[in-house]
């Protein structure tokens, strides 16, 4: 089969901005080394582009959620710098980890047992200090099986680092308590937002994700974090409609006067959810082109009055300032990134 034609929707990934965001977060991490969370296809940005760019910027510790994410990363990152956050839940996962030299993050007594039984070796260990999601409970830290582990990084995860919550200091105290009980080489607590909580939260390693990719985890980051992802979509068809004609499913938009409209190759299957359509626009150069009617699975209709000469095949820009789009749509910045669909071509942004 010949190659598939170029997709009519694409993400331009600004790898200079990505590297700059990492460097800024690494600076803000003080004496700690910033790593990079690249789970979920690097938050939708595309791990094949993001992982090497972050490595070249200087990141030396990478976090995935699942074992299934490892294969795409191994060509770019040394196995010993990859941590799988969900840990080895059965022997098949433990032998995969050992075969490749990837580090599991042990999250429970059961996972500790599986890792030790499978032959063990260096691993990371997550303690739960209050998010009550995954991780060893603080009262389990003294367990016999935990003493059998060769813990490189002892870590915990903050629940409310993006808020000025008393919970942050409480989690910090519990983390110190755990660190006093478990032998380890390094400590790590902070995600993107946690980095901004100050030096006490930095330890040896920080674990930014969202803000690498342009997310503003806390307001004080906004002047320093640059947009990384620029989505674009090609015009599929143009048409002229008369006054009184409606657009899209359930006819939620009706033209008051004759108007020129266009259909673009983007829909909720690409992550542009229906909740993002209302009152939103795309752009073509300086022209703002309002979205009309419902977002469909694969198509969105736009008003091209402000760019009447736009042609089929021309590319329109999809606004993706994460803070603004999150406020407008009610979706989180994390959701906006990770829902970017697989139909987008992902390319390094030029110029």
Residues that bind ligand PLP (CB under 6 A): 37, 39, 85, 157, 191-192, 207-210, 217
**Residue nearer to ligand PLP on the CB measure, 86 or 294:** 86
For residue 238, indicate whether it is catalytic: no
Provide the phi-psi class of 271: left if phi over 0, else alpha when psi is between -120 and 50, else beta. left
**Residue nearer to ligand PLP on the CB measure, 34 or 310:** 34
Which one-letter DSSP state was computed for residue 304?
A: -
* Beta-strand pair 82-84/205-206: unpaired
Reduced to 3 states (helix: H, G, I; strand: E, B; else coil), residue 171 is helix
Which one-letter DSSP state was computed for residue 60?
A: -
CB 258 within 8 A of CB 240: yes
Give the chain's largest Cα–Cα span. 77
The CB-based long-range contact list for 221-227 (8 Å cut-off, 24+ gap) reads 221/192, 221/196, 222/323, 224/24, 225/21, 225/24, 226/14, 226/17, 226/20, 226/21, 227/14, 227/17, 227/320, 227/321, 227/322
**Residue nearer to ligand PLP on the CB measure, 207 or 346:** 207
CB of 207 to ligand PLP, least distance (A): 4
**Residue nearer to ligand PLP on the CB measure, 37 or 247:** 37
CB of 336 to ligand PLP, least distance (A): 13
**Residue nearer to ligand PLP on the CB measure, 158 or 301:** 158
- Active-site residue, selected from the candidate residues 39, 43, 213, 334: 39
For residue 63, indicate whether it is catalytic: no
CB 38 within 8 A of CB 210: no
**Residue nearer to ligand PLP on the CB measure, 268 or 334:** 334
Residue 301 has which token pair?
């209709």
Residue 103: its H or E element: strand 103-106
User: Which residues are registered as beta bridge partners of 290?
Assistant: 281
- Active-site residue, selected from the candidate residues 230, 238, 249, 284: 249
**Residue nearer to ligand PLP on the CB measure, 39 or 276:** 39
CB of 97 to ligand PLP, least distance (A): 17
- Express the helix, strand and coil content of the chain in percent, nearest 5 each: 35, 25, 40
Reduced to 3 states (helix: H, G, I; strand: E, B; else coil), residue 149 is coil
Q: Give the whole-angstrom CA distance, residue 15 versus residue 55.
A: 11
Q: Give the whole-angstrom CA distance, residue 288 versus residue 291.
A: 10
CB 136 within 8 A of CB 168: no
CB of 195 to ligand PLP, least distance (A): 8
Q: Give the nearest residue (CB) to ligand PLP.
A: 209
Give the active site residues.
Answer: 39, 249
């Amino acid at each position: 089969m010949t190659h598939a034609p170029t997709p009519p929707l694409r993400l331009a990934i600004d790898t200079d901005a990505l590297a700059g965001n990492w460097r800024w977060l690494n600076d803000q991490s003080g004496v700690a080394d910033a790593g990079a969370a690249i789970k979920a296809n690097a938050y939708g940005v595309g791990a094949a582009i993001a992982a090497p760019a972050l490595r070249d910027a200087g990141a030396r510790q990478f976090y995935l959620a699942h074992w299934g994410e490892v294969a795409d990363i191994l060509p770019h990152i040394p196995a010993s710098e990859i941590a799988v956050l969900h840990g080895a839940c059965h022997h098949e996962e433990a032998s995969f980890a050992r075969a490749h030299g990837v580090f599991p993050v042990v999250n429970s007594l059961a996972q500790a047992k599986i890792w030790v039984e499978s032959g063990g070796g260096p691993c990371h260990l997550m303690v739960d200090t209050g998010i009550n999601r995954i991780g060893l409970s603080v009262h389990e830290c003294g367990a016999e099986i935990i003493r059998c582990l060769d813990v490189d990084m002892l870590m915990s995860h903050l629940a409310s680092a993006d808020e000025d919550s008393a919970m942050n200091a409480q989690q910090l105290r519990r983390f110190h308590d755990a660190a006093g009980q478990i032998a380890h080489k390094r400590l790590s607590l902070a995600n993107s937002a946690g980095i901004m909580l100050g030096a006490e939260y930095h330890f040896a390693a920080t674990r930014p994700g969202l803000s690498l990719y342009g997310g503003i985890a806390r307001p004080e980051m906004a002047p320093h974090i640059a947009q990384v992802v620029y989505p674009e979509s090609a015009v599929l068809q143009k048409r002229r409609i008369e006054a009184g004609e409606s657009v899209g499913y359930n006819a939620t938009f009706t033209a008051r006067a004759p108007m020129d409209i266009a259909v673009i190759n983007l829909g909720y299957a690409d992550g542009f959810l229906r909740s993002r359509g209302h009152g939103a626009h795309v752009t073509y150069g300086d022209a703002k082109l309002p979205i009309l009617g419902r977002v469909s699975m694969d198509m969105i209709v736009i008003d091209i009055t402000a760019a009447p000469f736009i042609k089929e095949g021309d590319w329109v820009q999809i606004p993706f300032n994460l803070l603004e789009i999150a406020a407008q749509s009610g979706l989180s910045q994390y959701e906006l990134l990770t829902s970017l669909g697989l139909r987008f071509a992902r390319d390094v942004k030029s110029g």
